[in-house]
Amino acid sequence: MRVPSGAEWKRVGEVLARRGLHTVCDEARCPNKGECWGCGTATFMVLGDICTRGCRFCAVATAREGRPVRAEEPTELAAAVAELGLKYAVITSVDRDDLSDRGAGHFAACIRAIKERTPAVKVETLIPDYREGEIELVVEAGPDVVAHNVETVRRLQTVRDARASFDASLRTLRLAKAAGAPLTKSSLLLGIGETDEELTAAMAELREAGVDILVLGQYLRPSAKQIDVVEYVTPERFAGYAREGKAMGFSTVVAAPFARTSYRALEAWSAGAEK
């Protein structure tokens, strides 16, 4: 991957630091940080930088409780989106099981703040496994895409926190669609021991749940603390999975070794919105 450099890279970092904002690019050690920041885009991570869950593939810091929620974060986030001149903003968050609504209300406030300040900006949200009474708060705020990741196939769900599951994630995606989300999206990390048959089955279940956009990427071990990589999937196989997904009816399939949920999100939204 390209080493981060250039004036645009520095500008993004300065804006984030001045506004007190976190990004999943940093906290999850995303391999695409250099490319995305160099283009003036970033995936914002709200509700702090400490997650209340501990998935075995993730580099984000964990604890029983997260940091106090910043009341000014929605305003600062909207200001950063405007200052960076973004056309498409992606917001994700840590899990906040320590909050009464698990952070859904704050998530919604962030969406509204961006939409009010820069109405033309498209907003994609990558949310926790919100349930009834939570997901509606997010969807009613008007995001253009609601994403939630199943992360891996059914058999390997134990790499996620014990409070997460394939069925809970499918439920979130179905609820988002039922609540009126224009497009829904999910992704899987490959190379942690799944078979082709299991991947096909997972893709089929996502499509049955009404998911529009599918992302498939290679799991890359962030540090020695996370699970090992079982296999490096070739670009040719990723291309084959993309063809399979399109044949299933997904409006967009982003499948490549370095693909992540929010990677090239604007292009994925554009293709899905045209359907």
Largest separation between any pair of C-alpha atoms in the chain: 47
Which of 268 and 73 is assigned the larger pLDDT?
A: 73
**Could you read off the pLDDT of 39-53 as tens digits, one per residue?**
445 688 899 989 999
What are the structural domains, with CATH classification, of the chain?
A: 7-273 (3.20.20.70)
On the question of pLDDT at 27 being above 60, the answer is: no
Q: Check residue 87 and give its pLDDT.
A: 84
Q: In sequence order, what are the residues at sequence separation of 6 or more whose Cβ sits closer than 8 angstroms to the Cβ of residue 22?
A: 16, 44, 45, 46, 48, 49
**Sequence-separated (6 or more) residues with CB below 8 Å from residue 26:** 33
Structure tokens at 8: 């645009």
Query: Is residue 28 pLDDT above 60, yes or no?
Result: no
Task: Give dist(CA 85, CA 12) in Å, integer.
Answer: 11
pLDDT at 23 over 50: yes
* Cα–Cα separations (whole angstroms), residue 157 to 32, 57, 150, 202: 25, 11, 8, 12
For residue 218, the cross-strand partners are 190
The answer to whether 255 and 238 are in contact (CB under 8 A) is yes
Q: Are strands 88-93 and 43-46 parallel, antiparallel or unpaired?
A: parallel
pLDDT digits (tens, 9 = 90+) for 143-200: 999 999 999 999 999 999 999 999 999 999 999 999 999 999 999 999 999 999 999 9
The span from the CA of 171 to the CA of 174, in Å, is 5
> 122 or 262: which carries more pLDDT confidence?
122
pLDDT confidence of residue 178: 97
36 pLDDT higher than 60:
no
Look over the chain and give the mean of its residue pLDDT values, rounded to a whole number: 88
> What predicted TM-score, i.e. pTM, was given to this entire model?
0.89
